[in-house]
Amino acid sequence: MFVRNAWYVAATRQEVSDKPLARTLLNEPVVLFLNGQAEICALEDRCCHRGAPLSLGEVTSAGVRCGYHGMEFDRSGRCVDIPGQERIPARAAVRSYPVVAKGDYVWIWMGAADKADAADIVDYPPEGDGWPCANDMLHLKASYIMVLENLMDLSHLSYLHRTSIGSSENDSAKASIDVRRTDRGMRFLRVMRNADAPANWTKRYPTGPKVDRWSDFEYVAPSTIKQYSGGVNAGEYDAGVREGAHLVRTLHAVTPETEKSCFYFFNKADGYARFEPPGTERTWKSTTDVFKEDAFMLEQQQLRMENFDEGRLMDINTDVARVQMIRVLKERLSQEQPSQEMAGAK
Amino acid sequence: MFVRNAWYVAATRQEVSDKPLARTLLNEPVVLFLNGQAEICALEDRCCHRGAPLSLGEVTSAGVRCGYHGMEFDRSGRCVDIPGQERIPARAAVRSYPVVAKGDYVWIWMGAADKADAADIVDYPPEGDGWPCANDMLHLKASYIMVLENLMDLSHLSYLHRTSIGSSENDSAKASIDVRRTDRGMRFLRVMRNADAPANWTKRYPTGPKVDRWSDFEYVAPSTIKQYSGGVNAGEYDAGVREGAHLVRTLHAVTPETEKSCFYFFNKADGYARFEPPGTERTWKSTTDVFKEDAFMLEQQQLRMENFDEGRLMDINTDVARVQMIRVLKERLSQEQPSQEMAGAK
Amino acid sequence: MFVRNAWYVAATRQEVSDKPLARTLLNEPVVLFLNGQAEICALEDRCCHRGAPLSLGEVTSAGVRCGYHGMEFDRSGRCVDIPGQERIPARAAVRSYPVVAKGDYVWIWMGAADKADAADIVDYPPEGDGWPCANDMLHLKASYIMVLENLMDLSHLSYLHRTSIGSSENDSAKASIDVRRTDRGMRFLRVMRNADAPANWTKRYPTGPKVDRWSDFEYVAPSTIKQYSGGVNAGEYDAGVREGAHLVRTLHAVTPETEKSCFYFFNKADGYARFEPPGTERTWKSTTDVFKEDAFMLEQQQLRMENFDEGRLMDINTDVARVQMIRVLKERLSQEQPSQEMAGAK
């Protein structure tokens, strides 16, 4: 069960070219490409004639020509040429999806086209900040909801990411968490004061052994999280000192492929990297490495949850943000499909 | 859903030897072999004792002995030996299938044995023509119906086979197509006049740049197509000139393995090859190469059609033969299973 | 369908260490390990918080700490620590399973814990016999029932194991078989008199070309078989001569993973090996090699039985023990699940 009236990241901008890209999104086969006018096109990847994938066809000026019997479709999905036939019936068409290039991504709207408003796409990265950033993607055999939940309970950093970005268990247990609803989702602020600097930091930042760390996560339903994290020397956070702070922004965009698989796009903008010499690519690589620790856990968790009633699980204190996030997601799902149960969401 | 009262190619003659060959046909496990009398045997590949595959057993004079507990079956499927037991109950038997060697193939009848008449097997190649021929087989993860449909709409040559045997799109669009019913199926004749010679031809034949091409395809329901194709220099077709013509005969025999997979046997007899020096094997190889272009498309098409309602597709002009073929196939299916819908055919 | 109130081999003792072992048993994910007190623990391999596998966590003094958000469980399955939370609710627990180390194995009880009595675990090997023994395991894509059935009809030795441990077909056909019920299952004694010595024997034992062989198999329902086999020179068996006999004991323990897969543990104790020089490991290897012949057949048999009605198979004389074994197993299954049909057992 998916929220359909929403913008999802379909691909990075680099992925969309004049060579068709086939990708299943929300259980639907989609083909993405630039037509001969360099316009972004997103069509149902299934010709209306015999069901052949248009992604095996050839990009044309208007759109794409099927590689099987040659029907051509423009970017609206309308058939504009049927070889050997003058008349083109009205039903000769495939579904097209609204798409918008914004930030580093191509965003797609899988629901009712008349409800699509590009202004709803999250702003990221903030215009003009000039921070170096890079993105990557992991294709996971896990529900997109599990990925979002992972990001909503940062207590996992002390266990799953102990040797990389994790705080000590003790520091994590003492973290304060404030959660609030927003117009478009919810937001939490998690602060650890006077905590041990994590392993990955001390290799790179001129911090002392003790730091204040904060994580400000904004969930924009159904499937996007904007993260603003930072760290300063212990005692500086409450004093409002941000000079020399370690500041990171990350966009997390999790697009369902099926109920049990998703594309996890992430884009990290590093405020500190402004001051660093070239060679900072290791930062990006280390982000992917950390997220691969999540990936393995999430795929195993997915296997354990199949044929298992989620109602038998229990919430703990650290779930406060996750529980709120699920509530928001349930509301969005029920708005579209009032009669369906959340149980089917995974 | 399959037509059962029909002859299907089970294997090439070379494939059937005293080493048992296991092959699933129309969803049934079958074992094919020559017994000690060199008779072709086709039995259910599942011992009636404990279900072990007889294909793991040992060929005997009469038939095959199961490799698990030693029951022996003759070519009629009757058990002729039970180790440690004198009496052989009547129900000690596995299903046997009528089989006939004809042409390069072993043909099998998967329906009611009393309806099997070897005279119904298609003649191919015509006796005494002496044309060099060769066969090959592709095991496809696609419905056998999709393979037949592929052959019934030759407009795909201009797109899927553009760089090999395809005509120009323009020539293809102008092709004439005549379709007629036959006693055992249907037949179409497609003629392209004054067309560009295809890429594969000009490498080999002394044709001019413009040719007349024809394709005469006879569908013998449910699963066999006899193809007679040819080409002459432009203008010669209607004048009846066949001297020096490029003539090809191909048998296409598509045997269902399951609803979603099949064995595609093809046998190409090349009239032109009579005049050629040795080394003509490349001709056969190029046929397989071309059909692999189909194979990839068909398997992708199959994936796109799963969980998709075929009723949402649309026919175009070039489907005239395909539509007729499907009508014939539906009739055959409904004759055997009056209450079933064609929807279940794939 | 499985008998749950029974002891199954979960693992060899060597397999259970302070590194968690994940294994699905009777369709349930289980994690096995030694906690910091060196106590054997068997817990549900799914954290009660978010369903993460505990096998990805870290062994502690009391039990295991989940590697995702850090909940710790003791060997009873009770949660003893929730990071960031004082109160531990009563429902914070995962299922724990009674486990006992006995012989070379760790045995597990997957049913009602209050019915578990370690005294019911089979004795093997007999204490104090001092015979060299070794064990191995095959992970099979076949029903555990098929593995048990394989052992209950030794006529398969002449066919499936012809070149290794099999007797001649003729000797096998003349074997006497006595079957009787026991308190905990059934037992059969199969004797072949004046039979050809099998291939594997003559390489190793000082037997003549003709031998008396016996196999005494005790089935302890639902899933364990104790085998006592032996051989003497022809004529000696009925005369009671056991001096210099070839004596083998084997424990067969077949633990269901799913309905269609199992772990086949076997442990062979070789009385003859006492007299042999070092280097006898080849004996153990040859046992595994022989059982791999079974494994291949069983997995193929499993495939042939899927979507096939077992009622269409037939019993023969050599099934006398197998039929009795299935009767016992059915009784055990119906005791636990009176309303279920045996048809669902596979």
pLDDT (tens digit, 9 = 90+) per residue, A84-136? 899 999 999 999 999 999 989 999 999 999 999 999 999 887 655 678 778 89
How confident is the model at residue C338, as a pLDDT? 63
| Subunit contact B69:C172, Cβ cutoff 8 A | no
Q: Residue B321 phi/psi, 5° resolution? A: -75, -40
Q: Which chains touch A (3 or more CB pairs under 8 A)?
A: B, C
The percent helix, strand, coil of chain A (3-state, each to 5) is 25, 35, 40
- Between B196 and A185, the more confident residue is A185
| Tokens 């006899």, residue located | B226
Residues of C in contact with A313 (CB under 8 A): 48-51
Which of B150, B165, B141 lies closest to B219 in space, CA to CA? Answer: B150
Mean per-residue pLDDT for C181-197? 95
Give yes or no for residue C282 having a pLDDT over 60: no
Residue B341 — pLDDT band, cuts 50, 70, 90?
A: very low
| Subunit contact A301:C51, Cβ cutoff 8 A | yes
Q: How far is C115 from chain B (nearest CA, A)?
A: 35
Give yes or no for residue A279 having a pLDDT over 90: no
Q: Assign domain A126-336 to its CATH architecture.
A: Alpha-Beta Complex (3.90)
Order the strands of the C246-258 sheet from edge to edge.
C133-140, C261-270, C246-258, C224-233, C210-220, C185-196, C176-181
pLDDT (tens digit, 9 = 90+) per residue, A302-322? 999 998 999 999 999 999 999
Give yes or no for residue C308 having a pLDDT over 80: yes
pLDDT (tens digit, 9 = 90+) per residue, A56-95? 999 999 999 999 999 999 999 999 999 989 999 999 999 9
pLDDT (tens digit, 9 = 90+) per residue, C9-67? 999 999 999 999 999 999 999 999 999 999 999 999 999 999 999 999 999 999 999 99
Q: How many DSSP H helices and E strands does chain C contain?
A: 6, 17
Mean per-residue pLDDT for C271-296? 74
Which of B209, B196, B117, B179 lies closest to B321 in space, CA to CA? Answer: B179
* DSSP reduced 3-state for B117: coil
Q: What percent of chain C has pLDDT over 90?
A: 73
**Residue C227, CB-side half-sphere exposure with 13 Å CA sphere:** 21
Could you tell me if A224 and A335 are in contact, meaning their C-beta atoms sit under 8 angstroms apart?
Answer: no
Dump strand ranges (E) for chain B. Answer: 7-12, 21-25, 28-34, 40-44, 58-59, 63-65, 72-74, 79-81, 99-102, 105-109, 133-140, 176-182, 185-196, 210-220, 224-233, 246-258, 261-270
pLDDT (tens digit, 9 = 90+) per residue, A323-345? 999 999 999 999 997 654 444 44
- Between A293 and A284, the more confident residue is A293
- Between C45 and A286, the more confident residue is C45
- Between A100 and B201, the more confident residue is A100
Return the residue of C nearest to B28 by Cα: C304
Return the residue of A nearest to B146 by Cα: A50
How confident is the model at residue B126, as a pLDDT? 64
Residue B268 — pLDDT band, cuts 50, 70, 90?
A: confident
CA–CA separation, A167 and A173 (whole Å): 10
Provide the residue ranges of all domains of chain C, joining segments of one domain with +: 7-119, 126-336
Comparing B168-172, B271-275, C103-107, C315-319, which segment has the lowest mean pLDDT? B271-275
Mean per-residue pLDDT for B185-207? 84
Of B172, B173, B301, the CB nearest to A50: B301
Domain A7-119 CATH superfamily: Rieske [2Fe-2S] iron-sulphur domain (2.102.10.10)
- Between C68 and B132, the more confident residue is C68
Give yes or no for residue B274 having a pLDDT over 80: no
Residue C174 — pLDDT band, cuts 50, 70, 90?
A: confident
Give yes or no for residue C144 having a pLDDT over 80: yes
Of C156, C305, C310, the CB nearest to B68: C156
Q: Which chains touch B (3 or more CB pairs under 8 A)?
A: A, C
pLDDT (tens digit, 9 = 90+) per residue, A171-227? 888 899 999 999 999 999 999 999 988 777 777 666 788 999 999 999 999 999 999
Residues of C in contact with A174 (CB under 8 A): 84
Residues of C in contact with A301 (CB under 8 A): 50-53, 68
User: How many CB pairs below 8 Å do chains A and C form together?
Assistant: 78
Helices A144-152 and A281-305: crossing angle, nearest 10°?
120
How confident is the model at residue A283, as a pLDDT? 57
CA–CA separation, B173 and B166 (whole Å): 12
- Between B129 and C136, the more confident residue is C136
- Mean pLDDT (chain A) is 90
Residue C343 — pLDDT band, cuts 50, 70, 90?
A: very low
Residues of A in contact with B158 (CB under 8 A): 70, 83
How confident is the model at residue A162, as a pLDDT? 87
Which of C229, C66, C54 lies closest to C157 in space, CA to CA? Answer: C229
Give yes or no for residue A34 having a pLDDT over 80: yes
Mean per-residue pLDDT for B340-345? 44
pLDDT (tens digit, 9 = 90+) per residue, C316-327? 999 999 999 999
Best of A316, A323, A326, A346 to disrupt the C interface by mutation (most C CBs within 10 Å)? Answer: A316
How confident is the model at residue C276, as a pLDDT? 65
Give yes or no for residue A285 having a pLDDT over 80: no
Could you tell me if A221 and A184 are in contact, meaning their C-beta atoms sit under 8 angstroms apart?
Answer: yes
How confident is the model at residue B280, as a pLDDT? 52
| Subunit contact B84:C317, Cβ cutoff 8 A | yes
| Subunit contact C50:A312, Cβ cutoff 8 A | no
Could you tell me if B193 and B212 are in contact, meaning their C-beta atoms sit under 8 angstroms apart?
Answer: yes
How confident is the model at residue B167, as a pLDDT? 75
Which of B122, B54, B299 lies closest to A51 in space, CA to CA? Answer: B299
Q: How far is A80 from chain C (nearest CA, A)?
A: 47
How confident is the model at residue A281, as a pLDDT? 54
Give yes or no for residue A9 having a pLDDT over 90: yes
| Subunit contact C308:B66, Cβ cutoff 8 A | no
Of C29, C49, C52, the CB nearest to A297: C52
pLDDT (tens digit, 9 = 90+) per residue, B225-237? 999 999 998 999 9
Residue A236 — pLDDT band, cuts 50, 70, 90?
A: very high
Q: How far is C300 from chain B (nearest CA, A)?
A: 7
Please report, in angstroms and rounded to a whole number, the separation of the first and last CA atoms in chain C.
7
Give yes or no for residue C137 having a pLDDT over 80: yes
pLDDT (tens digit, 9 = 90+) per residue, B136-154? 999 999 999 999 999 999 9
How confident is the model at residue A341, as a pLDDT? 47
| Subunit contact A83:B155, Cβ cutoff 8 A | yes
Mean per-residue pLDDT for C137-164? 94
| Subunit contact A159:C70, Cβ cutoff 8 A | yes
Beta-carbon count within 10 A of B137 CB: 18
Beta-carbon count within 10 A of B56 CB: 21
Distances in whole angstroms, Cα of residue A253 to Cα of each of A98, A186, A224, A322, A345? 18, 15, 5, 16, 18
How confident is the model at residue C262, as a pLDDT? 98
How confident is the model at residue A218, as a pLDDT? 97
Residue A168 — pLDDT band, cuts 50, 70, 90?
A: confident
How confident is the model at residue C341, as a pLDDT? 47
Best of B30, B31, B44, B50 to disrupt the C interface by mutation (most C CBs within 10 Å)? Answer: B50
Look at the alpha carbons of A253, A258, A259, A260 in this order and tell me if their dihedral is positive or negative: negative
Mean per-residue pLDDT for B288-304? 94
Give yes or no for residue B339 having a pLDDT over 70: no
How confident is the model at residue C215, as a pLDDT? 95
How confident is the model at residue A324, as a pLDDT? 97
- Mean pLDDT (chain B) is 90
How confident is the model at residue A181, as a pLDDT? 97
The two tokens of residue B50 are 């404990």
- Tell me the range of B79-83, B170-174, B306-310 where mean pLDDT is highest: B79-83
How confident is the model at residue C344, as a pLDDT? 40
Comparing A270-279, B281-290, B300-309, C89-98, which segment has the lowest mean pLDDT? A270-279
Comparing A282-286, C65-69, C218-222, which segment has the lowest mean pLDDT? A282-286
Could you tell me if A153 and A318 are in contact, meaning their C-beta atoms sit under 8 angstroms apart?
Answer: yes
Comparing B47-61, B318-332, C136-150, C274-288, which segment has the lowest mean pLDDT? C274-288
Residue C274 — pLDDT band, cuts 50, 70, 90?
A: low
Q: Residue C166 phi/psi, 5° resolution? A: -70, 145
Order the strands of the C28-34 sheet from edge to edge.
C21-25, C28-34, C40-44
DSSP 8-state code for residue C60: -
Beta-carbon count within 10 A of B295 CB: 19
Could you tell me if B270 and B134 are in contact, meaning their C-beta atoms sit under 8 angstroms apart?
Answer: no
pLDDT (tens digit, 9 = 90+) per residue, B209-265? 899 999 999 999 999 999 999 999 899 999 999 887 888 899 999 999 999 999 999
Q: Which chains touch C (3 or more CB pairs under 8 A)?
A: A, B
